[in-house]
Amino acid sequence: MLTKNLLRYKIQNGRILPQFVNPADSQLLAIAEQLIAVFEAAPNKPRATLLETSKQIIDSTPGVPIVKRGLEKLLLDRTEFDTAPNEELIAFRQKLFTETSRLLSRETFPNYADYQLFVQAQFDEAELGTKLYADLPSCQPVLAFKTLSAERLLHRYNAAQVQGLLLHCNTLTLKLADSMTAELRQLFKYLRFHQLLCTIQRSGRHGDAPLQKQEKQNENLYRITVDGPLNLFYKTKRYGMNLANFFVALLHQPKWELTAELQFRNSQPYRLCLDESCGIKPISQQFLAYIPEDIQLFQAMLRNKTEAWDIRPGSQFLPLAGDFYCFPDYTLVHESGVSTAIELFHPWHQGHLIARLNTLAEQTCVPLILGVSKELEKKPFIAEALAASAYFSQFGFTFRDVPTMGSLLPILNSLVNQ
Amino acid sequence: MAPLKINFDKGTLILQNVPKPLQAQLADTHWDERTLTFRAPAYRYRQIISQLRAHDIPYQDTARQFTLEPFTLQKTTRPYSYQTEAIDAWHANGKRGVVSLPTGAGKTLIAILLIAEMQRPTLVHVPTIDLMHQWYTVLTEHFGQAVGLYGGGYHELETLTVTTYQSAVMHAPYYGNRFGLAIFDECHHLPGEQYQYAALSSIAPFRLGLTATPERVDGKETRLYALLGECCYEARVHELSGKTLSEYRVVTIAVEMEDTERVQYEEARRVYLTFLKQAKINMGTPRGWHTFLWKASQTEEGRAAFKAYLTQKQLSFASTTKREWVWKLIQRHCGDRILIFTQDNDTAYQLGTRFFLPVLTHQTKLKERNAFLNGFRDGTYSILVTSKVLNEGVDVPEANVAIIVSGSGSVREHVQRLGRILRKREGKQAVLYELISKQTGEHFVNKRRRQHHAYQSSRHTPCAVKPK
The per-residue DSSP string of B384-423 comes to EEESSTTSSS---TT--EEEES---S-HHHHHHHHHTT-B
Average pLDDT over every residue of A311-324: 66
Q: Work out the minimum CA distance from A384 to partner chain B, whole angstroms.
A: 10
B10 neighbors B35 (Cβ within 8 angstroms): no
Q: Per CATH, which fold does B81-235 belong to?
A: Rossmann fold (3.40.50)
Q: Is B244 on the interface with A (CB under 8 A)?
A: no
Residue A79 forms beta bridges with which residues? A145
Cβ neighbours of B293 in A, within 8 Å: 5
Sign of torsion, CA A72 A76 A81 A83? positive
Return the closest-CA partner of residue B40 out of B16, B64, B17, B12: B12
Residue B294: which residues within 8 A CB-CB, separation 6 or more? none
How far apart CA B194 and CA B326 sit, in angstroms, is 38
Question: Looking at the predicted structure, is the pLDDT value of residue A207 above 70?
Answer: no
Cβ neighbours of B201 in A, within 8 Å: 230
Q: Is B36 on the interface with A (CB under 8 A)?
A: yes
Looking at residue A317, its pLDDT comes to: 66
- Mutation for A interface: B9, B13, B34, most A CBs within 10 A: B34
**Which stretches within A16-124 are classed as H helix?**
26-40, 47-60, 65-77, 87-106, 112-122
Going by pLDDT thresholds of 50, 70 and 90, the confidence category of residue A286 is low
Q: Is B1 on the interface with A (CB under 8 A)?
A: no
Return the closest-CA partner of residue A227 out of A237, A217, A213, A218: A237
In CATH, the number for domain A167-207+214-278 is: 3.30.70
* Nearest-CB residue to B35 (from A128, A133, A351): A351
Return the exposure string of A329-350: e unless at least 16 CB atoms fall within 10 Å of the residue's CB, then b.
Answer: bbbbebeeebebbbbbbbeebb
CA distances to A201, A205, A260, A272 from A173, in Å: 11, 17, 6, 10
Question: Looking at the predicted structure, is the pLDDT value of residue A215 above 70?
Answer: no
Cβ neighbours of A205 in B, within 8 Å: none
In CATH, the number for domain B4-61 is: 3.40.1170.30
Phi, psi of B430 (to 5 degrees): -90, 145
Q: Is B293 on the interface with A (CB under 8 A)?
A: yes
Looking at residue A217, its pLDDT comes to: 56
Question: Looking at the predicted structure, is the pLDDT value of residue A201 above 70?
Answer: yes
How far apart CA A381 and CA B62 sit, in angstroms, is 6
Looking at residue B31, its pLDDT comes to: 92
Average pLDDT over every residue of A274-298: 74
Rg over alpha carbons for chain A, rounded to the nearest Å, is 29
Q: What is the ipTM of this complex?
A: 0.77
For CATH 3.40.50.300, the residue range(s) in chain B are 81-235, 247-257+319-463
* Nearest-CB residue to A133 (from B32, B60, B349): B349
Q: Tell me the per-residue pLDDT of A325-366, one tens digit each, with 9 for 90 and over.
A: 677 878 888 888 888 888 888 877 787 788 888 888 767 777
User: Using the beta-carbon criterion (under 8 Å), do A322 and B14 form an inter-chain contact?
Assistant: no
Cβ neighbours of B355 in A, within 8 Å: 100, 115
How far apart CA A366 and CA B98 sit, in angstroms, is 54
For CATH 3.30.70, the residue range(s) in chain A are 167-207+214-278
Q: Is B28 on the interface with A (CB under 8 A)?
A: yes
> In this structure, how many other beta carbons lie within 10 angstroms of the beta carbon of residue A246?
23
What CA dihedral angle connects A229, B172, A166 and A207, to 10 degrees? 0
User: Using the beta-carbon criterion (under 8 Å), do B367 and A85 form an inter-chain contact?
Assistant: yes
Specify the CATH superfamily of domain B247-257+319-463: P-loop containing nucleotide triphosphate hydrolases (3.40.50.300)
- Selection from A31-40, A101-110, A240-249, A278-287 with the highest mean pLDDT: A31-40
A198 neighbors A192 (Cβ within 8 angstroms): no
- Mutation for A interface: B60, B64, B356, most A CBs within 10 A: B356
Q: What is the mean pLDDT of chain A?
A: 86
How far apart CA A188 and CA A222 sit, in angstroms, is 13
B214 neighbors B184 (Cβ within 8 angstroms): no
Residue B342: which residues within 8 A CB-CB, separation 6 or more? B317, B318, B348, B351, B385, B386, B387, B405, B406, B407
- Mutation for A interface: B1, B15, B35, B47, most A CBs within 10 A: B35
Looking at residue A218, its pLDDT comes to: 60
Higher pLDDT, A160 or B10: A160
Looking at residue A192, its pLDDT comes to: 74
Return the exposure string of B248-284: e unless at least 16 CB atoms fall within 10 Å of the residue's CB, then b.
Answer: bebbbbbbbbeeebbebbeebbebbeebbeebebeee
What distance separates the 2 farthest-apart alpha carbons in chain B? 87
User: Using the beta-carbon criterion (under 8 Å), do B358 and A97 form an inter-chain contact?
Assistant: yes
Q: Work out the minimum CA distance from B418 to partner chain A, whole angstroms.
A: 22
Sign of torsion, CA B113 B117 B119 B123? negative
- pTM across the whole model: 0.77
How far apart CA B353 and CA B349 sit, in angstroms, is 6
Looking at residue B67, its pLDDT comes to: 95
Q: Which residue in chain B has the smallest CA separation from A130?
A: B353
Q: What is the DSSP letter of A232?
A: G
Return the closest-CA partner of residue A237 out of A160, A161, A166: A166
Tens-binned pLDDT, residue by residue, of chain B (468 aa): 678 989 998 899 999 889 988 988 998 999 988 877 899 999 999 999 999 999 999 999 989 999 999 999 998 888 999 999 999 999 999 999 999 998 878 899 999 999 999 999 999 999 988 889 889 989 999 999 999 999 888 888 999 999 999 999 999 988 999 999 999 999 999 998 899 999 999 999 999 999 988 888 778 889 999 999 999 999 887 777 767 778 888 899 999 999 999 999 999 999 999 999 999 999 888 778 888 988 887 788 998 999 999 999 889 888 999 999 999 999 999 989 999 999 999 999 999 999 999 999 988 887 898 899 899 989 999 999 999 888 776 778 788 999 999 988 777 788 788 888 887 777 778 899 999 998 888 887 777 766 666 565 555 554 433 333
For CATH 3.40.580.10, the residue range(s) in chain A are 293-417
Q: Which residue in chain A has the smallest CA separation from B44?
A: A233
Q: Which residue in chain A has the smallest CA separation from B292?
A: A5
* Nearest-CB residue to B334 (from A90, A93, A104): A104
Cβ neighbours of A90 in B, within 8 Å: 365, 367-368, 371
How far apart CA A254 and CA A282 sit, in angstroms, is 11
User: Using the beta-carbon criterion (under 8 Å), do B368 and A208 form an inter-chain contact?
Assistant: no
Cβ neighbours of A384 in B, within 8 Å: 5, 60, 62
Q: Per CATH, which fold does A293-417 belong to?
A: ECO RI Endonuclease; Chain A (3.40.580)
Q: What is the DSSP letter of A231?
A: G
Residue type, B266: E
Q: Which residue in chain A has the smallest CA separation from B169?
A: A238
